[in-house]
């Protein structure tokens, strides 16, 4: 007959974990009763701000492809 080992009891919440940094901690600074402002109210974006980023990324990609081709050929 095979013997089934007894199940080990799970760690209780009072036990210190092996890594103290992994211990679950609940931050009670902010709760459902905390009041604040809507983050969307503090956004200040100017018209056409960031309009040039797609062009910058496209130019960077083209330059990168050219450099890779040159490195493969030479």
Could you tell me how many helices (H) and strands (E) the chain has, helices first? 1, 0
Residues 62-72 have pLDDT tens digits of 999 999 999 99
Residues 23-46 have pLDDT tens digits of 777 767 766 776 777 777 777 878
Residues 52-62 have pLDDT tens digits of 999 999 999 99
From CA 74, how far away is CA 70, in angstroms rounded?
Answer: 6
From CA 17, how far away is CA 13, in angstroms rounded?
Answer: 9
């Amino acid at each position: 007959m095979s013997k089934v080992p007894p199940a080990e009891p799970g760690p209780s919440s009072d036990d210190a974990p092996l890594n103290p940094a992994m211990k679950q901690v609940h931050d009670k600074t902010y709760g459902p009763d905390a009041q604040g402002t809507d983050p969307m109210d503090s956004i200040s974006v100017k018209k056409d701000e960031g309009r040039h980023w797609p062009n910058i990324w496209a130019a960077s990609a083209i330059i990168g492809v050219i450099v890779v081709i040159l490195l493969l050929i030479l």
